[in-house]
């Protein structure tokens, strides 16, 4: 039985590989195409009412960043034990803190328009 070797590549958006001549030509042709030449038959136009009921992508998962954050001890204790920790367990407290901050930011954005 042969051994399978996996190779993982990571794409750095700030350091993209150069385009091939064919890719550059395709992009140039597309950028020169007039809007009237675009076939929208499979995507009918949407009115503004559609966007009023739109929600952020349900599958959107923001990238997490690790950091050191100093919080008041009573806040940490509350999120660990009082804010939904099962039976006083501290597990999930970082998620609860993140959720509280997310709700706050969402409300502030709504107020700002």
In tens, the pLDDT along 32-67 reads 999 999 888 898 888 888 888 888 777 888 889 999
- Of the candidates 112, 82, 113, 107, the residue with the CA atom closest to the CA atom of residue 97: 82
Domain boundaries, the chain: 56-113
Q: For residues 85 and 92, is the Cβ–Cβ distance under 8 A?
A: yes
pLDDT-derived band at 81 (thresholds 50, 70, 90) equals confident
> Residue 96 in contact with residue 79, Cβ under 8 Å?
yes
Using a cut of 0.75, tell me whether the model's pTM lies above it. no
What tokens does 76 get?
């940490």
Evaluate whether 83 touches 96 at the Cβ level (below 8 Å): yes
> Rounded to the nearest 10 degrees, how much is the dihedral formed by the CA atoms of 102, 108, 111, 113?
-80
């Amino acid at each position: 039985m042969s051994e399978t070797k996996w190779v993982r590549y990571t794409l750095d958006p700030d350091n993209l590989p150069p385009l091939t001549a064919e890719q550059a030509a395709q992009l140039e042709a597309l950028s020169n195409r007039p809007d009237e030449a675009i076939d929208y038959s499979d995507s009918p136009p949407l009115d503004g009412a559609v966007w009023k009921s739109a929600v952020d992508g349900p599958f959107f998962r923001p990238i997490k960043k690790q950091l050191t954050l100093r919080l008041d001890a009573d806040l940490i204790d509350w999120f660990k034990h009082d804010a939904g920790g099962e039976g006083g367990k501290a597990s999930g407290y970082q998620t609860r803190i993140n959720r509280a901050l997310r709700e706050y930011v969402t409300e502030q954005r709504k107020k700002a328009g």
